[in-house]
Every structure is written in structure tokens, then in C-alpha cells.
Amino acid sequence: MTMHPILAALRKHKAGVVLISLQIALTLAIVCNAVFIIGQRVERVNRPTGLDENDLFLVTQQWVGAPSGDDPAGVEKLDVMQREDLAALRNLPDVASVAPSNSVPLLNSSWTGSLSLKPGAQLGSKGGTRTAYYFTDEQALTTLGLHLVTGRAFNAGDVQHQGARDQRDRPVVIVTKALADKLFPQGNAVGKVIYSDGSTAPSTIIGVVERLQIPSTGSWGNAFTWYSTLVPTRLDSSYARYVVRAKPGRRDAAMRAVPAALYAVNPMRVLDDDESVKSFADIRASAYRADVGMAILMGVVCLILLCVTAAGIVGLTSFWVGQRHRQIGVRRALGARKVDILHYFQIENLLIAGAGVVLGVLLAVGLNTWLMTHYEMTRIPLPYVMTGVLAMLVLGQLAVFVPARRASNVPPVTATRAV
């Protein structure tokens, strides 16, 4: 079949052709970018924190009338209170292990600083890097479920304590593999010395863990998402956080038992019903709520958009079929087979959709560029665009099939009737 009659016919329906190809172009632009956003968000949400997240929960509490922690006596008093709490939690029947910690991944409450290979170096100096600290104790690795790659874990002798506003030397630390590789590209970080926050006191790396995300999920933390440092120090203030690993499958029972156990130690404290004892699953859900929501919204928009576009093609093609009823009859009477008529409409759609996707690719890249300049977005990869192009062409063919088949069923005798 030659293209000429199809092109000639299209010239008679300029408005409809322009409308369908414009719609296909815009749909392609939006769907490509939306699917790309979904892909990015899903990837972000699915990245592992490095923790064994099952059976894990976090207790956040605040003592009432506790010492301020700004004098040595107050710090000692607070430390006693914290150790009492830890002992009470560790004694619970459903609890496997407990570690104090100033934060956990995805909690968005962080203590960040800088590490350097030289003493007294400021942030931003060469060879240094940003990091987020986890202040915890010797049960940290088992409680968090971290995987030690080399070196050793903290032991009870490593653990110190300090007031939350005090500064203390950090003789030993454990860092993540990503951080170790950044500081010591030639490997073998264990035993090496680093300096934290511009201090002149050395810290020795005693162990390297496979992976541990920083608490922040915000964009400001993107540059050091995997650069965490574990410090064997209990922070003493009127606030305390305890990370608790329940025995397998006993998380909910352990969570229910926590308030009573802590109140039994000391009732003068604030424990909110829903905020103070939070499962890690809930922490994860609230950290990624916006990402999941965005993915769902984009998914729904794409789905409806594809349906609307397909319906639009069906509607307009049906109209053309109705308009050309008589011409189709004439063609059939002159010897065209049913399949010729079917192909005519399919090729016509392919031409229109083809023009649409060419424009659509330009629009998709344009929209992506605009998003890149205004929001944190990366360049859309070619496979996304190519898949989108293919999807739009297939969608067009599927949508055109029903009206085209109806057209192919127009009997030749129509040619002899007046309308």
C-alpha cells in the first residue's frame, strides 16, 4: 500500500491529527518523567540501611527533674539513671539486646561532624570528609544487626560516657566500609588513626562495618549518606534513646512491656504513647512517606493519563470511521479486502503517533531539563525514553484496533446507498 492516499486524507483532518499527536506528545513527556521519578523514589526507598530491621525498635524518653548534665556530678547521676534503664530493658523476657544511641538511620535527627587524616584540620580541608556519629556502647553491633567486615567490635572497656554538651577524646571508633575506603583508598583502615571535628586527639579505627546509613534522609546529607562513625560513648542528658532488638517475632510484645518496665525504674519521665516507643518499620515509613506518596501519585497519574489518551484515540478514530463510511464502502466495492481497510487505519495511526512521539521525546527531555534546574533530578536515561516511545506506539495501535476493525466490517454494498 502506498502512503500517498493516507497522507492526502490526513490533510483533510488537520485539526484531529494535530490534536492526537499533541496529546500523544504530552502524554509521552509526562509519563516518561513520571516513571523516571517513580523509579528513582523506589530505588531510594529500597536501599538498605545496613541494619537488620526486623524485631528492631527505638525508645525515646525524657526524665523530669533530672540534673542538667553541665556539671560532673550531674553527668554521673544521669549516667547512673541511663544504666538503670538499660539494665531494666535488657532484663525484659522478650528483649535480645539493647544499646543506647543518639539516633538511628532514617530518624532525621543527627549529630554530624568531620573526619580528617591530620590533627586540627577544619571541615573542607583536603582528605577530610563529613560524617554522622552514632554514640552508643558495646552492644551496638549486635543490637543494630551490623555486619563487621574487618577488625573487632567494641568491648565494655572501650565504653566511656560524657555530658551531651561536653567534648571528650574518642580513642577508638568503628566506621563504615564506604567511609574507610574514602579515607584510606588503599584499604586496610583498621588500626589507622583519624582526627574528628578538627581535634588534635587521635581516634583509632578498630573495626569496619559493611554498611550503615546516616540518620538524615534529607538532601543535605546526600553527600555522605554512607559515611557513619560509631563512637563507644554514652551521651548523658535529660533525653535518652535506646535501640532495642526483640527476640525473633517478639517485637510487639517487647514494645508493650517497655513503658511499664521504665516507669518501674523511675516514674518521673515523659513517655508518649505513640511517639516514645516506635518500631523501626514505623520510622522507615515516616521517613519515606513523601517518596512513597510521590511514587503512588505519579503511578495513578500515568495510569489515568494512558487511559484518557487511549480513549481519545478511540473516540476520534471512531468519528473518522463514521465520517468515511461511504468511502470505505466504495473502496471495498472496488476490490479492497477487509485487511486492507484495517491496515489503512493502523498505518494512519502509526503515522500520527509517530509524529507525536518525535515531538514527545523533545518535550520529555525539555521537562526533564526543567526539573533538573529547579529540583534535585538527574538526566533521564535513554532506555526510559525509548520504552516510553514504544509504549505510546503500542498504545496507539491497541486503541485504534477496535474502530479499525469496525471500519473493516463496513460492507461493500454501502457504496451503492445514499448515506
- Beta carbon nearer to another protein, 59 or 141: 59
**Closer to another protein by Cβ: residue 64 or 390:** 64
70 contacts another protein (rule: CB under 8 A): yes
As a three-state string, the secondary structure of the chain is CCCHHHHHHHHCCHHHHHHHHHHHHHHHHHHHHHHHHHHHHHHHHHCCCCCCCCCEEEEEEEECCCCCCCCHHHHHHHHHHHHHHHHHHHCCCCEEEEEECCCCCCCCCCCEEEEECCCCCCCCCCCCEEEEEEECCCCHHHHHCCCEEEECCCCHHHCEEEECCCCCCCCEEEEEHHHHHHHCCCCCCCCCEEEECCCCCEEEEEEEECCCCCCCCCHHHHHHCCCEEEECEEEECCEEEEEEEECCCCHHHHHHHHHHHHHHHCCCEECCCCCCEEEHHHHHHHHCHHHHHHHHHHHHHHHHHHHHHHHHHHHHHHHHHHHCHHHHHHHHHCCCCHHHHHHHHHHHHHHHHHHHHHHHHHHHHHHHHHHHHHCCCCCCCHHHHHHHHHHHHHHHHHHHHHHHHHHHCCCHHHHHCCC
Q: Which is nearer to another protein, 123 or 330 (CB)?
A: 123
311 binds another protein per the rule CB under 8 A: yes
- Nearest approach in angstroms of CB 301 to another protein is 6
Interactions with another protein, residue window 316-335 (CB under 8 A): 316, 318-319, 322-323
Residue 7 engages another protein in binding (rule: CB under 8 A) = no
CB nearer another protein, residue 74 or residue 145 = 74
The x, y and z cell numbers of residue 184, run together, are: 584510606
Among positions 73-112, residues that touch another protein (CB under 8 A) are none
Q: Which of 139, 203, 309, 349 binds another protein (CB under 8 A)?
A: 309
Torsion of CA 59, 167, 154, 211, to 10 degrees: 70
Nearest distance from residue 62's CB to another protein, in Å? Answer: 6
19 binds another protein (CB under 8 A): yes
- Nearest distance in Å: CB 116, another protein: 11
The residue among 245 and 320 lying less far from another protein, judged by its C-beta, is 320
The verdict on 187 binding another protein (CB under 8 A) reads: no
The partner residues of 176 in beta bridges, in order of sequence, read 209
Residue with smaller CB distance to another protein, 2 or 219: 219
- In the set 65, 157, 248, 383, which binds another protein (CB under 8 A)? 65
Contacts of 50 (CB under 8 A, 6+ apart): 105, 144, 146, 147, 176, 209, 210, 211, 212, 213
d(CA 45, CA 49): 10
Binding residue count for another protein, defined by CB under 8 A: 65
Binding-residue pattern over the window 119 to 158 for another protein, x denoting contact by CB under 8 A: -x-xxx----------------------------------
* Interface pattern 20-49 for another protein (x via CB under 8 A): x-xx--xx-xx---x--x------------
Residues 6+ away with beta carbon under 8 Å from 76: none
Interaction between residue 285 and another protein (CB under 8 A): no
Tell me the three cell numbers of residue 343: 491496515
**371 in contact with another protein (CB under 8 A):** yes
**8 Å CB contact between 414 and 336:** no
Q: Among 3, 42, 64, 362, which residue sits at the site for another protein (rule: CB under 8 A)?
A: 64
Out of 1, 3, 68, 191, point to the residue binding another protein (CB under 8 A).
68
Residue 375 sits in the site that holds another protein (CB under 8 A):
yes
**Where in 189-218 is the site for another protein (CB under 8 A)?**
197-199
382 or 419: CB nearest another protein: 419
Which residues in 233-252 contact another protein (CB under 8 A)? Answer: 237-238
Residue 47 or 319 with smaller CB distance to another protein:
319
Choose the binding region for another protein from 153-161, 221-229, 301-309, 401-409 (rule: CB under 8 A).
301-309
Which residue ranges make up the site for another protein (CB under 8 A)? 15-16, 19-20, 22-23, 26-27, 29-30, 34, 37, 62, 64-65, 68, 70-71, 120, 122-124, 163, 165-167, 197-199, 237-238, 263, 267-272, 286, 289-290, 292-294, 296-298, 301, 304-305, 308-309, 311-312, 315-316, 318-319, 322-323, 371, 374-376, 419
